[in-house]
Amino acid sequence: MQILLIFSLIIAIVAVLFAVQNAAPVPVQFLFWKYQGPLALSLLLSVLLGVLISMLFSLPSLTRSKMTIRNQRKKISELETGLNDAKVKLADAQSKTADLEKALQEVNNPPAATETTETTLK
């Protein structure tokens, strides 16, 4: 943050020096428009006009990028919801599998108490 402040301060100092040293009036003519003013002001207006034009040309691309980002975030949200649903289903399936395995073990290996009662009945 401090580097940005120092850089901005240096640019401001250079701009002021440029404006002080180039205060001579300069005629500017564009189509039917004529203007005479300081060279520094003419250059500043030219730079600002260039920045404005470049911003206008980059606006469609910026808008398209923001729409793409919004759509991607929406898709991520949907995928995360689907993932959470799948995790819940997996946990349920694992629980049912554990219950079924336990029931299968009980069927294959009955408890010892029932064996002793069967042998005493014979």
Question: pLDDT tens-digit profile of 73-118?
Answer: 999 999 999 999 999 999 999 999 999 999 889 888 876 655 555 5
Pairwise CA distance, residues 55 & 15, whole Å? 22
List beta partners, residue 35. 28
Strand segments (E) across 1-122: 25-30, 33-38
| Contact yes or no for 35/28 (Cβ under 8 A) | yes
Lowest model confidence (mean pLDDT) among 37-41, 61-65, 85-89: 37-41
Which of residues 73 and 14 earns the better pLDDT score?
Answer: 73
pLDDT at 113: 55
* pTM (2 d.p.): 0.50
Tell me the pLDDT band of 14, cut-offs 50, 70 and 90.
confident
- Average pLDDT across the chain, whole number: 86
- Alpha carbon of 37 to those of 6, 17, 31, 62: distances in Å? 31, 17, 17, 36
Read off the pLDDT of each residue in 41-48 and give the average, rounded to a whole number: 83
Does the CA dihedral 82-83-89-92 come out positive or negative? negative
Reported confidence tier of residue 53, pLDDT bands at 50, 70, 90: very high
pLDDT of residue 65: 95
Give Cα 65 to chain centroid, integer Å: 10
